[in-house]
C-alpha cells in the first residue's frame, strides 16, 4: 500500500460514521469500518457472514416492506448519483435503531459497489421529540392558564349573582337548588385553581426547604395509605443542599408521585423506592434529560421515585403531563399536570424512564440554593408545632387525604369525616379531645356552613376553620353574619394554614 492508500485506509477506519461497501450483485458487504461494527455491536466475523437484509426489520415506520424499499433506495441512488434517507436498522445485539443513510454508487471497476454511510440518529431524534413535547406542553399550559383565568372571572360573577338569588329566595326549594349550583361552582373554582397552577400562575411562597427531610415526613405518612403488599424504601443523601421552594407545593409533588407509584401496582405486591440525592448537571445532562424545561446546568437536588408497577408505553408517556389525561377509572389526570406546573414555577425539570411491565422512575430536579442545612442556621421557626386532634371534614377522599397529610406533618393528630352529618356524630362522641375543626364549605346535603352553625350551637367555644375553592374575600362576605373562626381558600400552602393557626393560637 502506498502512502496515499494508507491515509485513505486510516480515514475509512477512523470515521465516526459507519462506512460499508456493498456489492450489489453478490448482495454482501465486502468492506466495513470499526464504526459499523460498533453500531451493530457485531464482531468482524459475524458481520461478514450476515446477509444485508437481516439488518432491517421486515417493515419501515411508514409501513413499507424493508426489502422493496431498500431496492427503491438503491435504484434512486444509481439514478441520481447518490441518495440520502432515514432508515431503521436491526442488529441481533441491540434494539432497532434509526440511522441516516447515504448511498453512493462507485463507478470504479467491474463490480457494482455502493458506498453505504450510516449515521446513528437515535440521540438527535430523541432530543427533537423532547423539544417538541416541551413546546406542546408549554402551549397547552398557556392555553389552560389563559382559559382558567377567564373562567375564574366568570365564576366570580356567578358567585355574586347566586348570592343575590339566595338573599331574595323565599322558597326552601329554591334555596336548595341554589346550594347545589354553589356546590358545582365551588368545585369548578377549585379545578380552575389547579389549572392555574399547571399554567405556572399558582402562587409560590418560597423558603429554603430540606427536600430530604420533607420526603421523610411525608413518606412515613403515605405508607399508611398504601396497600400492605407495597414496600416503601427511602434513601436520603447526607448534607444535601436546600432548595428555594414552596413547601406545600413540593409536598404535593412527592404525594402525587408516590400515589401514582402505589396505584401502578394494581393489586400486586411491589416496591417503591424514593431517593433524594445531590447532583451536578452538565449542559449535556440537561440536553439529554431535561430539554426544553426551565432547568439550567449546575447543582441540583434530585427527587427520584421508582416503582415496580405496570410501567407505561411510549404512547402513554407522551401524554401523561397533559391536563385530564388519565388511564385510571378514578383518575382525574391532574396529578402530573400540576406537578409539571409546580416544577416549572421552581425552574426545575422532570424526567422519566418507563416501559410496560418494567416499572417507572420519575426524577424531579430542582436547582440547589447554595445553602445547606447547617449554613441555613436553625430551621425556620414555623414548623411542626401543632398539638392535639383536628377533625377534617371533606366529602372528597383525595382532598381529605392531602389535608390530613399536611396536618400530620405539622404535628397534629387527625380524625376524618366524609360529611357534615358524620362530623356532628364524631364531635358528639369525641368533642372533648378535638382541638379544632377544618371543614370544606361545599358538601352535598349538609354543607360546611350549616354544619358549622350546628357545631357552634352545640358548643359555642368550638374553633372551626372553613376552607373552599372560593376566594377568601368571597368566603368572608358569605359568612359575614355568623363568621367561623377563620377561612382559607383552597388549595392552600402549609405556610398559609400556619399563618391562620398562629392567629388562632393553635400552634405553639
Ligand atoms: N408510576 C406510574 N406508573 C404507571 N403509569 C403512571 C405512573 N404515573 C402516572 N402514570 C400514568 O399517567 C397518567 C396521568 O397521571 P396523573 O397523576 O396526572 O393522573 P391520574 O393519576 O390518572 O389522576 P389524578 O388526577 O387522580 O392524579 C395516569 O393515569 C397513568 O396512566
Ligand atoms: Mg395521579
Give 451-461 pLDDT, tens digit per residue. 999 999 999 99
What's the pLDDT at 204? 62
Cell numbers for 154: 366568570
Instruction: Output the CA 388–ligand 1 centroid distance in Å.
Output: 35
What's the pLDDT at 374? 57
Q: Which atom of ligand 1 is nearest to the CA of 321?
A: 18
State the number of CA atoms in the 13 A half-sphere of 233 facing the CB.
7
Could you give the percent of the chain with pLDDT greater than 90? 46
Choose between 493 and 397: higher pLDDT.
Answer: 397
At 481, is the pLDDT very low, low, confident or very high (cuts 50, 70, 90)?
confident
- Tell me: pLDDT of 109 over 60: yes
The partner residues of 300 in beta bridges, in order of sequence, read 279, 367
Q: What is the mean pLDDT of residues 5-31?
A: 91
- Tell me: pLDDT of 280 over 80: yes
Q: What is the mean pLDDT of residues 93-108?
A: 92
CA distance 403 to 493: 10
DSSP 379: P
Of the residues 319, 335, 354, 402, which should be mutated to test ligand 1's pocket, given the most ligand atoms within 8 Å of the CB?
A: 335
What's the pLDDT at 129? 85
Does the CB atom of residue 312 touch ligand 1 within 6 A?
yes
Does the CB atom of residue 255 touch ligand 1 within 6 A?
no
Taking residue 113's Cβ as centre, other Cβ atoms within 10 Å add up to: 19
Q: How far apart are the first and last CA of the chain?
A: 88
Poorest-pLDDT segment among 81-85, 139-143, 411-415, 416-420? 139-143
CA distance 347 to 367: 7
Greatest Cα pair distance in the chain = 107
What's the pLDDT at 201? 62
- Grid cell 387525604 is found at 401
What's the pLDDT at 380? 47
Instruction: Output the CA 448–ligand 2 centroid distance in Å.
Output: 27
Contact 487, 466 (CB under 8 A): yes
Class of domain 3-120: alpha beta
DSSP 466: E
Nearest CA to ligand 1 atom 29: 326
For CA atoms 61, 15, 30, 79, the dihedral sign is positive
| Host H or E run for residue 298 | strand 298-307
Q: What is the mean pLDDT of residues 152-175?
A: 83
Q: What is the mean pLDDT of residues 183-203?
A: 74
CA distance 228 to 45: 54
Nearest ligand (C-alpha, residue 266): 1
Q: What is the mean pLDDT of residues 144-163?
A: 80
- CATH code for residues 389-504: 3.40.50.2300
Cell numbers for 179: 346550594
What's the pLDDT at 442? 79
At 279, is the pLDDT very low, low, confident or very high (cuts 50, 70, 90)?
very high
- My answer on whether omega of the bond before 491 falls inside 30° of 0, hence cis, is yes
Does the CB atom of residue 373 touch ligand 1 within 6 A?
no
Collapsing DSSP to helix, strand or coil, 369 comes out as: strand
DSSP string, 169-196: ---HHHHHHHHHHHHHHHHHHHHHHHHH
Cell numbers for 5: 492508500
Domain ranges in the chain?
Answer: 3-120, 126-198, 207-372, 389-504
Contact 270, 308 (CB under 8 A): yes
Instruction: Output the CA 84–ligand 2 centroid distance in Å.
Output: 44
Of the residues 140, 257, 328, 351, which should be mutated to test ligand 1's pocket, given the most ligand atoms within 8 Å of the CB?
A: 328
Instruction: Output the CA 230–ligand 2 centroid distance in Å.
Output: 17
Collapsing DSSP to helix, strand or coil, 235 comes out as: strand
At 491, is the pLDDT very low, low, confident or very high (cuts 50, 70, 90)?
low
For CA atoms 374, 378, 382, 383, the dihedral sign is positive
Could you give the percent of the chain with pLDDT greater than 70? 94
Of the residues 336, 353, 360, which should be mutated to test ligand 1's pocket, given the most ligand atoms within 8 Å of the CB?
A: 336
- Tell me: pLDDT of 382 over 50: no
Q: Which protein residues have a CB closer than 5 Å to ligand 2 (ion)?
A: 260, 335
What's the pLDDT at 292? 86
pLDDT in tens, 227-272: 888 999 999 988 888 999 888 788 889 988 999 999 999 889 999 9
Pseudo-torsion of CA 339, 466, 403, 378, nearest 10°? 90
- Tell me: pLDDT of 352 over 60: yes
Closest CA to 321 of 197, 492, 186, 148: 197
CA distance 303 to 363: 6
CA distance 316 to 221: 29
- Tell me: pLDDT of 139 over 50: yes
- CATH code for residues 207-372: 3.30.565.10
- Tell me: pLDDT of 381 over 50: no
Does the CB atom of residue 325 touch ligand 1 within 6 A?
yes
Amino acid at each position: 500500500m502506498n502512502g496515499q492508500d494508507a491515509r485513505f485506509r486510516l480515514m475509512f477506519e477512523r470515521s465516526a460514521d459507519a462506512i460499508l461497501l456493498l456489492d450489489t450483485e453478490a448482495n454482501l458487504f465486502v468492506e466495513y469500518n470499526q464504526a459499523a461494527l460498533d453500531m451493530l455491536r457485531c464482531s468482524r466475523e459475524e458481520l461478514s457472514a450476515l446477509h444485508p437484509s437481516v439488518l432491517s426489520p421486515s417493515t419501515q415506520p411508514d409501513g413499507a416492506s424493508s426489502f422493496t424499499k431498500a431496492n427503491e433506495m438503491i435504484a434512486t441512488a444509481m439514478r441520481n448519483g447518490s441518495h440520502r434517507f432515514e432508515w431503521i436498522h436491526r442488529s441481533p445485539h441491540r434494539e432497532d435503531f434509526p440511522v441516516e443513510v447515504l448511498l453512493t454508487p462507485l463507478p470504479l471497476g467491474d463490480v457494482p459497489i455502493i458506498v453505504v454511510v450510516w449515521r446513528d440518529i437515535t440521540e438527535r431524534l430523541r432530543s427533537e421529540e423532547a423539544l417538541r413535547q416541551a413546546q406542546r406542553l408549554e402551549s397547552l399550559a398557556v392555553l389552560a392558564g389563559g382559559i382558567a383565568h377567564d373562567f375564574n372571572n366568570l365564576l366570580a360573577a356567578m358567585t355574586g349573582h347566586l348570592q343575590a338569588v339566595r338573599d331574595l329566595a323565599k322558597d326552601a326549594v329554591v334555596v336548595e337548588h341554589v346550594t347545589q349550583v354553589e356546590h358545582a361552582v365551588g368545585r369548578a373554582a377549585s379545578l380552575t385553581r389547579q389549572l392555574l397552577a399547571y399554567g405556572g400562575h399558582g402562587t409560590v411562597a418560597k423558603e429554603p426547604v430540606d427536600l430530604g427531610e420533607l420526603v421523610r415526613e411525608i413518606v412515613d405518612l403515605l405508607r399508611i395509605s398504601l396497600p400492605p403488599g407495597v414496600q416503601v424504601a427511602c434513601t436520603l443523601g447526607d448534607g444535601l443542599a436546600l432548595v428555594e421552594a414552596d413547601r406545600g407545593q413540593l409536598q404535593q409533588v412527592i404525594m402525587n408521585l408516590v400515589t401514582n407509584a402505589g396505584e401502578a401496582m394494581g393489586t400486586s405486591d411491589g416496591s417503591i423506592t424514593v431517593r433524594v440525592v445531590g447532583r451536578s448537571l452538565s449542559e449535556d445532562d440537561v440536553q439529554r434529560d431535561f430539554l426544553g424545561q426551565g432547568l439550567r446546568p449546575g447543582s441540583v437536588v434530585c427527587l427520584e421515585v421508582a416503582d415496580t408497577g405496570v410501567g407505561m408505553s411510549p404512547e402513554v408517556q407522551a401524554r401523561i403531563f397533559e391536563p385530564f389525561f388519565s388511564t385510571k377509572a378514578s383518575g382525574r389526570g391532574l396529578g402530573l399536570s400540576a406537578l409539571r406546573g409546580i416544577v416549572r414555577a421552581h425552574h426545575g425539570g422532570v424526567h422519566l424512564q418507563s416501559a410496560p411491565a418494567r416499572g417507572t422512575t420519575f426524577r424531579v430536579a430542582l436547582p440547589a440554593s447554595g445553602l445547606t442545612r447547617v449554613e441555613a442556621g436553625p430551621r425556620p421557626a414555623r414548623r411542626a408545632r401543632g398539638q392535639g386532634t383536628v377533625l377534617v371534614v371533606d366529602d372528597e377522599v383525595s382532598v381529605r387525604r392531602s389535608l390530613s397529610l399536611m396536618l400530620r406533618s405539622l404535628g397534629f393528630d387527625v380524625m376524618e369525616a366524609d360529611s357534615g352529618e358524620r362530623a356532628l356524630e364524631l364531635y358528639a362522641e369525641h368533642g372533648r379531645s378535638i382541638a379544632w375543626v377544618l371543614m370544606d364549605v361545599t358538601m352535598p346535603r349538609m354543607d360546611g356552613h350549616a354544619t358549622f352553625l350546628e357545631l357552634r350551637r352545640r358548643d359555642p367555644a368550638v374553633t372551626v376553620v372553613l376552607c373552599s375553592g372560593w376566594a377568601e374575600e368571597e368566603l368572608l362576605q358569605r359568612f359575614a353574619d355568623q363568621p367561623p373562626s377563620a377561612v382559607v381558600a383552597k388549595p392552600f400552602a402549609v405556610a398559609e394554614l400556619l399563618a391562620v393557626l398562629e392567629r388562632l393560637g393553635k400552634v405553639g
